Amino acid sequence: MSQSGVVRGGMIVPDQPIALPEGTRVIIDVSIAPSPSEFPRRQGGWWKGRVFIAADFDELPEDIARSFGMDRA
């Protein structure tokens, strides 16, 4: 099991409560996670010119409409 948390007042506070019986021995392996500000900023536009939406994208095909009981007759 892996659990993340933060240090507050010199103590590790888990992000989610952990229900363990009193007296359970645990091993805490500390690794420092990068803060969100340390992650590289994402650049938009990677798919520009590569993805196209069909002209009839928002039209429901008749066979599918019938399967939902939406006869267009």
Residue type, 8: R
Write down the pLDDT at residue 73. 56
Q: pLDDT, tens digit, for every residue of 35-67? A: 777 777 888 898 999 999 999 999 988 899 889
Write down the pLDDT at residue 8. 92
Per domain, the residue ranges of the chain are 45-73
Write down the pLDDT at residue 17. 86
| β-strand partners of 7 | 12
Q: pLDDT, tens digit, for every residue of 16-43? A: 988 899 999 988 888 887 777 777 788 8
Structure-token pair, residue 4: 């993340």
Write down the pLDDT at residue 24. 93
Task: For residue 1, give the H/E element and its range.
Answer: none
